[in-house]
Amino acid sequence: MVSAFGAGVLAATGHPSHFVGQVLLGPAGRAEAILVAAGRRANEARGRGQATSLSALVLSLSAALPAGARLRATARLLSILCFSGLFGSVSSPLSLQGLRGGRDRCSEAHLMRGQRELILGDRQTGKTSICLDAILNQDSEPVACVFASVGLRASTLLGISFSVLSRAPAFVAFVFASSRDRPSLQYLAPYSAAALAEFFMWAGQISILVALDDLTKHAACYREVALLLRRPPGREAYRRLPGGAG
């Protein structure tokens, strides 16, 4: 049951058996939210069969969930619909979840494996250009590319996508959340891109290049979402490993 709603997040109470990443359905039966945190005493509540506090990111732009509204938990993790037709397209995390048809679903549980390179530099020094040049230079090899844009202006993204897709539409897909989108959607964009890239990797048995632009804006979105959910926004949000290792 919803206890508070606003700014793209909600607080609720529910059964302690709920798990992080679980999709919650609204009164109309649509996917309205994804569970991101349960109460600290969820294990104790689970043993006693008591309700616990829950926090969730709201997925639907048109969601209206007043206090007292009832949500129904599903048995699935947040996922997107993946298919090869997404090459040459520009999609948002919400549009990928809303697609219909007999296509594969990919979980948004993690941010991929493999080699990583962090591009550092001051503002307006060409960091995005390095990513785009790397994508365009893959046209002679069987490499699928996914470009995840977080927090860019829609006009900037339009120019970038037109420039790239006019030259290499067959192996590049864009996932975006613009600066006007809610922080919760911007936070989910890289995870949607990673799920899409992993689908391409396993379906085609090919190499993948993923560009996340940019991580500074994504970190700011994480901080804002964490504060809205009343969770620690920094390193203290991560649990320490057994034995004292951080």
SS3 110: coil
The answer to whether residue 224 scores a pLDDT higher than 70 is yes
Q: Which residues are bridge partners to 104 per DSSP?
A: 82
Report DSSP letters for 111-139, one per residue.
Answer: ---S--------TTSSHHHHHHHHHHTTT
- In CATH, what number does 2-77 get? 2.40.30
CATH class of 79-224: alpha beta
pLDDT in tens, 104-150: 555 564 555 567 788 888 888 888 899 999 888 886 667 889 999 99
Which pTM does this prediction carry?
0.78
pLDDT in tens, 142-183: 788 999 999 888 888 889 988 888 888 888 999 988 888 888
pLDDT in tens, 9-63: 888 887 767 777 788 888 777 777 777 766 555 445 455 556 778 888 887 766 6
**pLDDT for 243:** 47
Rounded distance, CA 6 to CA 58, Å? 9
What residue ranges do the domains of the chain occupy? 2-77, 79-224
The token pair that represents 148 in the structure block: 């995840």
pLDDT in tens, 79-110: 777 887 888 888 888 776 654 543 455 556 45
